Structure 1
């Protein structure tokens, strides 16, 4: 992939010249983009950016698979493959391209030169970071594709061979071990400080070490189907060294900046906005599903409903009027599992009339689709204001508040203490320590609420109710209520994973977890159905059901979406190695073939 290497470097340099972001500046001559041009402090933030975009794009697209989102009708853009095929599980190669491009072209191709430059300077912390990000990127690729180029991926090979998923997995763990000693080294006197180029952890090596152990815990826990490789003690040990709270977690803080006029050369998006905004909320295409919105509702025996206090932050709302007064309505979820709405012109696009202050749908028979609120936000580059990133009408009516994770200024939670607690709860539950599992489970839920409120409080006074903090009284009431497990006999694996699914919304890990438990098949261990009410879309296209996901029932492995097929770059330019990597690599049903850790042993 040597050609990709220099294309990627050229993109990195070109983007550096148009950006006003301090992290993303390159001051060398743009007419001579060689591997020696970019300094450490200018190269690293671009590597971090492109890995982040790859992970954000993967998490967003996984949302179509794990039942979080769907698309409205009438999408006709460059993303047609994504919006007109994924909701129907009609998989095509085009839907898997973006994570691949941003990882290989934007990030991975610069790692070797970053390490070389850091070695010359004695900037050891940069070497550690390079190994961590290398591990993160290739783990994303093997979770995504199963097999892919790895040992030959970043060298001079035009057609690199593929490695097995297990080889990549083990290599990524080895990279984490390789990284750790570098964070303990004292850099040479004139070496570039990590703080000068680190847009994730601001040069804090303790947070990088916590990230390493958090990744170990996450990845080792993904081996839960491998009886000889799943080692609870190692997972728990890694958790103890992982992030403990907000201050030791790895969080990317994005901003909606009027000066953010540059664009990502690969995606054309702003440089400082959140990756999930760029992928999921740039336009009005996306809607939440009923499967997802139901997670925030707790029906009571008297017919009433108690709501999760995160509901108005995690789900979009829009503004309505009654008797001259405004109020906000939380979106309804599109029932793609039990209804055939996708094959009946829905959910249809709605319009807002500022004169009548009302919403309408012009598609006959779809008038009721005004209950589905778009995720759309508006960043400064699109004409929005820094403090008004919500989507609004001509009269200022808020047409969507957005969601906690998808506004331009939303944070990216790369590794958190609450994820560690959820993993701990799962591991202890498997071991039979239900009391310890309950404590970890409750700590995880509280942790996620606290993380959300830390960010929500930082927004200050805002006329977007989706960005107001959650009251402490509401948090305390929820944590003490029957909505969550309060006793050992109330705790189930399904409840642990439900709360983790909410907290990890829009992450690739949610799809990983669903695969580990065979979605809603209920045939893993004695846990029962871990994702109740989940199923394939009712509107799954006939050819997709018969050719790509041919399993007849939920307990058939091939009933479910288990991996991505490789994108056209590999199909067109590395076909021989692709075909040799897996006997089904180019077959229609590759999408339902398990990646290596998803095969029970």
Structure 2
């Protein structure tokens, strides 16, 4: 369901609310009784839906280098070679949204606004899971009260149990009748409770599928959640942008045109889709990235940069106006295409026919979303590289096609780690961070801001220490 465009003034009003609510509660040790300390549900909903999309972008903007969608034009760039970086803004943005969501859940519970409470719980589950998937252990149980300014870190596996609890409770609350329904303050579904329920079930399937390396993996439960989840691209969870606030990927593309370099495409992604690696040209390519002035797709090898001025030539980048980079394009939070690939993976060992059909439908769904012509969809799907038949169908086919369909999304990094980066011709970047000992990165470093104020609780981990579902 596509939501109506909102005005920027509404966000500006919500921003005023955030001066009171959107900071870590464990820092708010003084209260002014003459100023409001809680925001109306409507303002909290505006900010939480909008900023959840922004958080999806913020994490994806980093991890897209790790999964080789993007590459730096400069040799040995820190993100490109998986250096140890501090993610202060990403961390604070995640916690700002979770603080607002905590306030929204509590206020909605007190006022009987069950749909706001349910949507808040689903968004809390999503932002918490994004935090765990990026960093591992994280503060949560002590983070949203005034009892401590140095909250303890909760175990990452225990936090995932909390994610599933939040999703279950959110779905239950959204299934109730309410006298206080959500309205146009919802940037994702415009107040449609049925869509939120589908979204909650889709996320149940996503996060249960993350457990594929653990003894908790339950394909039957995943497939049951999928049956109650998205039914088409119309159910996609996304935030559409508007004239006063561009899609952040559009800003990356616009900035690149203005020589603030970013959004350069990895050679790995180009060769995986232009026919070099798999022998079939992917018709999605023109909808996703730009060509050189000569109409060619040429990527940058991760870690190597463009080379010297004499040999660099042009390279493909994100360009304004494509599906992901138009000014009013949506940021995709969760899609029907993603769900079909989750279904394909979950069904692979127990129902090969269902798995194979879901794999093919995931490709079609992503192509339809981009606007690819039906004849091109049919030609690609029917090619021998894609329609391999059930007998030749492997889990690698699912992960490869899902990798293309999750372009620029942080879920792609979860998949890469679960798949041990085992993609065709997927090489370590040149000039790799030597601390990684010739291995791919497995988590983000905790931010300097957190180490500075809560250092005694911050876990002592390296970039090679794995999140619990990756062990």
Q: CA deviation at 1:25?
A: 3.2
Checking the alignment, whether the CA contact within 8 Å between 2:344 and 2:355 is kept in structure 1 is: yes
Larger mean Cα displacement after TM superposition, 277-286 or 233-242:
277-286
Residue 199 of structure 2 is aligned to residue 216 of structure 1: no
Alpha-carbon distance in structure 1 between the residues aligned to 2:425 and 2:254:
26
Alpha-carbon distance in structure 2 between the residues aligned to 1:412 and 1:28:
24
Among 141, 156, 178, the alignment partner of 2:131 is 141
Q: Which runs of 5+ in 2 are unaligned?
A: 1-6, 21-33
1:170-569 equivalent positions in 2, closer than 5 A: 170-188=161-179, 191=180, 193-226=181-214, 228-255=215-242, 257=243, 260=244, 272-278=245-251, 282-283=255-256, 284-299=261-276, 306-319=280-293, 329-336=295-302, 341-342=304-305, 346-347=306-307, 365-377=308-320, 390=321, 403-431=322-350, 433-453=351-371, 470-520=372-422, 531-540=423-432, 544-545=433-434, 547=435, 549-550=436-437, 559-569=439-449
Q: CA deviation at 1:297?
A: 2.4
Q: Secondary structure of the residue that 1:194 maps to in structure 2? A: coil
Q: Alpha-carbon deviations, 1:29-63, whole Å to 9, x = none?
A: 98976323x32222211112222212211112101
Q: CA deviation at 1:515?
A: 0.8
Q: CA deviation at 1:275?
A: 3.5
Radius of gyration: which is bigger?
1
Look up the match of 1:595: 467
Look up the match of 1:78: none
Q: CA deviation at 1:448?
A: 0.8
What TM-score, normalized by structure 1, do the two folds share? 0.70
Q: CA deviation at 1:370?
A: 3.0
Q: Alpha-carbon deviations, 1:502-524, whole Å to 9, x = none?
A: 1111111111111112112xxxx
Look up the match of 1:150: 140
Sort the Cα spacing of 1:27 and 1:233 in 2 relative to 1 into closer, same or farther, 3 A: closer
What TM-score, normalized by structure 2, do the two folds share? 0.88
Q: CA deviation at 1:150?
A: 1.1
Sort the Cα spacing of 1:92 and 1:240 in 2 relative to 1 into closer, same or farther, 3 A: same
Checking the alignment, whether the CA contact within 8 Å between 2:201 and 2:228 is kept in structure 1 is: yes
Structure number with higher relative contact order (C-alpha < 8 Å, ≥ 6 residues apart): 2
Alpha-carbon distance in structure 1 between the residues aligned to 2:267 and 2:16:
51
Checking the alignment, whether the CA contact within 8 Å between 1:125 and 1:187 is kept in structure 2 is: yes
Q: Alpha-carbon deviations, 1:526-582, whole Å to 9, x = none?
A: xxxxx1211211222xxx22x2x125xxxxxxx22000110011110000011xx3x
Q: CA deviation at 1:92?
A: 2.1
Q: Which has the higher strand share?
A: 1
Q: CA deviation at 1:252?
A: 1.8
Q: Which runs of 5+ in 1 are unaligned?
A: 1-18, 75-82, 261-271, 321-328, 348-364, 378-389, 391-402, 454-469, 521-530, 552-558
Among 34, 37, 46, the alignment partner of 1:35 is 37
Checking the alignment, whether the CA contact within 8 Å between 1:309 and 1:475 is kept in structure 2 is: yes
Look up the match of 1:382: none
Sort the Cα spacing of 1:153 and 1:412 in 2 relative to 1 into closer, same or farther, 3 A: same
Checking the alignment, whether the CA contact within 8 Å between 2:289 and 2:317 is kept in structure 1 is: no
Q: Alpha-carbon deviations, 1:313-358, whole Å to 9, x = none?
A: 11213545xxxxxxxx14301123xxx733xxx35xxxxxxxxxxx
Q: CA deviation at 1:149?
A: 0.3
Alpha-carbon distance in structure 1 between the residues aligned to 2:251 and 2:287:
19
Alpha-carbon distance in structure 1 between the residues aligned to 2:464 and 2:252:
25
Q: CA deviation at 1:131?
A: 0.8
Checking the alignment, whether the CA contact within 8 Å between 2:280 and 2:383 is kept in structure 1 is: no
Checking the alignment, whether the CA contact within 8 Å between 1:57 and 1:279 is kept in structure 2 is: no
Sort the Cα spacing of 1:282 and 1:104 in 2 relative to 1 into closer, same or farther, 3 A: farther
Q: CA deviation at 1:90?
A: 1.9
Q: Alpha-carbon deviations, 1:225-255, whole Å to 9, x = none?
A: 10x2011110111111110102222222223
Look up the match of 1:91: 84
